[in-house]
Amino acid sequence: MVMIGASILSANYGHMAEEVRRAEEAKVDFFHVDIMDGHFVPNLSMGLKVPEYLQDITHGTKIDVHLMVENPDIFIPKIAEASDMVSFHAEATKFLFRTVDLIADNGAKPIVALNPSTSISNIEYVLENLYGVLIMTVEPGFSGQSFINPMLKKIDKLKNLILTEGYDTKIFVDGGINTTTAPKVVEAGADALIAASAIYGKDDVVKAVQDLRASANFKI
């Protein structure tokens, strides 16, 4: 069963507790928090305290933080304590084993994110130590972009590598996910889908999540 994560990047900032309640009613599997530093990506989204705030207003739904920042090690201890899963970018550090250990040592599950053009050869050796790989299917930094098609080949290639090696690493996919792209990425091998505007951009959040889940579990 494919997991669905709601990215609060598209949620209403003035009434966050209510936005969280709507997504929990829709039974999303996790909340996804995009933290950007204006350096790794050319945008600044939200701050380090968001996971902590979310803990206060959620009711057991898991929290997944995506660090789109340079020097992620500086921020991980604080972030990992308040989150269930933490992803950082392979392009943001030369020491992937160290950062993976830092996340795990602070109590969260480690995920490595890859930009669209980045080869999976960059995670070849660390793969078995990961809870997940986050395949970006748009360039990170902004919501509302279109799905990049060659990413289906990449998801497929990664899935094969994971199965061949016998790892239990999960594949997360983020970017341009909607009811059209969801079945394709699941077919290619995705285990979890993250959506922003396809959930919070809709009037009826519960129905939006149901539609997405239905499309994701549809066999092509």
Residues in touch with a second copy (CB under 8 A): 13-17, 20, 35-40, 42-50, 53, 56-57, 69-71, 74-75, 89-91, 94-98, 115-119, 121-126, 128-129, 139-140, 148, 150-151, 153-154
Give the residue from 121, 176, 113, 173 showing the smallest Cα distance to 143.
176
Minimum gap (Å) between residue 213 Cβ and a second copy: 26
DSSP assigned state of 87: E
> Residue 98 or 207: which CB sits closer to a second copy?
98
CB of 44 to a second copy, least distance (A): 5
Minimum separation from the CB atom of position 218 to a second copy (A)? 26
Three-class DSSP category at 47 = coil
Q: Is residue 59 classed exposed, middle or buried when 0-12, 13-18 and 19+ CB atoms within 10 A define those classes?
A: exposed
Task: Decide if 191 is catalytic.
Answer: no
Contact 32, 8 (CB under 8 A): yes
The tokens describing 183, both together, are 């079945």
Q: Is 101 part of the annotated catalytic residue set?
A: no
Strand pairing category for 192-195 and 170-174: parallel
Min dist. Cβ of residue 18 to a second copy (A): 9
Please identify, using beta-carbon distances, which residue of 54 and 216 lies nearer to a second copy.
54
**Residue (of 193, 172, 171, 191) closest to 182 by Cα position:** 193
- 23 versus 212: smaller Cβ distance to a second copy: 23
Catalytic residue chosen out of the listed positions 29, 34, 64, 191:
34
Set 64, 105, 156, 174: catalytic member: 174
Whole-angstrom CA distances from 160 to 1, 85, 94, 130, 191 are 19, 23, 25, 16, 13
Annotated binding site for substrate: 7, 66, 141-144, 174-176, 196-197
Q: Which residues are catalytic?
A: 34, 174
Annotated binding site: 7, 32, 34, 66, 141-144, 174-176, 196-197
